[in-house]
């Protein structure tokens, strides 16, 4: 059973789409193993997005991700990483397939409703930024 990290970003959280997003994941057979509502600090943003630090868009990304509450989740299932990324859709909601989370709930390419790990290595690293092992119920 593969695990992945998902973040419901401030735009989707503020718009009240968190429950709908969770329902999509669960409806696709993914199990919710951990959940935390929080406001991301600049320190957590720097750890989570470390590969983006120094790029022209980093300050805007950090500002957005620290602008309001987020919901961090660990989801699990067969091929969870690929399944979540398919359910999320392309980063730009204009290019996302119909019925995907970003097509339904993202405002723009920058405010795109959700984050998901892109590989098993990223998932292992990202999950432990937000959760310790005692908070993951598998």
Chain centre distance of CA 96: 16
C-alpha neighbours within 13 Å on the C-beta side of residue 95: 6
Copy the structure tokens of residue 46.
Answer: 């720097």
Q: Is 17 a catalytic residue?
A: no
- Active-site residue identified among 48, 52, 115, 128: 115
Q: How far apart are CA 135 and CA 108, in angstroms?
A: 32
Contact 52, 65 (CB under 8 A): no
Residue identified by tokens 């999950």 is: 127
In DSSP notation, 8-48 reads E-HHHHHTT-HHHHHHHHHHTT-EEEEEEEEE--HHHHHHH
- Catalytic sites, residue numbers: 115
């Amino acid at each position: 059973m593969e695990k992945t990290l998902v973040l419901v970003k401030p735009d989707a959280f503020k718009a009240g789409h968190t429950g709908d997003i969770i329902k999509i994941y669960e409806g696709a057979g993914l199990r919710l193993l951990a959940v935390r509502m929080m406001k991301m600090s600049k320190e957590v943003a720097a750890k989570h997005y470390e590969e983006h630090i120094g790029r022209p868009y980093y300050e805007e990304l950090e500002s957005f991700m620290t602008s309001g509450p987020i919901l961090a989740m660990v989801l699990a299932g067969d091929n969870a990483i690929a399944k979540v990324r398919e359910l999320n859709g392309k980063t730009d909601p204009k290019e996302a397939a119909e019925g995907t989370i970003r097509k339904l709930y993202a405002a723009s390419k920058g405010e795109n409703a959700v984050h998901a790990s892109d590989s098993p290595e990223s998932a292992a690293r990202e999950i432990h930024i937000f959760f310790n092992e005692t908070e993951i119920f598998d």
